[in-house]
Amino acid sequence: MPADWLAPTDLKQAAAVQRELARRVVAEGPPGPVRTVAGVDVSNFPRDPTGRVFAAVVLLDAGSLKPRATATAMRVAPIPYVPGFLGFREVPALVAAFAGLPERPDLVLVDGHGVSHPRGLGIAAHLGVLLGLPTIGVAKSILVGHPAGELPPAKGATVPLSWNGREIGTVLRSKDRVAPLYVSIGHKVGPAAAPDLVLRCCTKYRLPEPTRAAHEAANAFRRHWAAENA
DNA sequence: GCGACAG
DNA sequence: ATCTTGTCGC
């Protein structure tokens, strides 16, 4: 694996890497039963010139949605945040965090888009391909594309997310009368299965439990790090 | 050229 | 992403 795959020289090269990795995305799966689900997220210091990213991954039981293990890792992002290139900032730290997990999850829910991305490689697909794990992108807002119709207000409602005449994801109502989530496959997951898998992780909040747990873990990790490095 | 723009 | 106060609805 070329070094610039993790730390590209410029955005032009980064885009080329994304197009290459996008070819390796597998749009079907999961290959087996989903007994465990992991949630991943990254926390940052506001206006931090050093660009430190604090990553966390939480493994939970897919049935009870109870946390089973947590792992964290801190890295310095190789590039600043630029829409369309989020993966280069967060994936290295997330991969490092996964190394600290006691076991590999059957599925991973990622904060951000999967293939609903300008070059078909949002952070969920990026992470999935590098880890070789089934991943789904769960974003809170749109990067590219438009909802193909009006989304009903009830939890579980869906409508396709289209872009240039192509269906790239699904707009999903994860809770009654709240802003929808934008779901797209990351890697080793089929487009039809993705929305159901995400909904299965949603209880009483807008965001799925794995994502909520990871968000909390990443914030706790960052605060803990700050307290010991004062 | 102008508008859009995950976290 | 992070910060922050008030406000609205169940």
CATH of the domain at A210: 3.30.2170.10
pLDDT digits (tens, 9 = 90+) for A129-146: 999 999 999 999 999 999
Is A41 marked as binding a ligand?
A: yes
Domain that holds residue A140: 3-228
CB A37 within 8 A of CB A62: yes
Query: For A117-125, what is the mean pLDDT?
Result: 98
Residue–nucleotide distance: A180 CA to B1 C1' (Å)? 33
Q: What is the pLDDT of residue A9?
A: 87
Nearest nt to the CA of A45 via C1' is C2
Does residue A122 approach strand B to less than 7 Å at its CB?
A: yes
Q: What is the pLDDT of residue A7?
A: 83
Query: Number of folded domains in chain A?
Result: 1
Query: For A3-26, what is the mean pLDDT?
Result: 92
Percentage of residues in chain A with pLDDT exceeding 90?
95
- Averaged pLDDT of chain A: 96
Does residue A40 approach strand B to less than 7 Å at its CB?
A: no
CA count, 13 A, side-chain hemisphere, A116 = 32
Query: For A122-128, what is the mean pLDDT?
Result: 98
Given a cut of 80, whether residue A4 has pLDDT beyond it is: no
CB A39 within 8 A of CB A213: yes
Given a cut of 80, whether residue A20 has pLDDT beyond it is: yes
Residues 6+ apart with CB under 8 A from A28: A188, A189, A190
CB A62 within 8 A of CB A198: no
Query: For A73-99, what is the mean pLDDT?
Result: 97
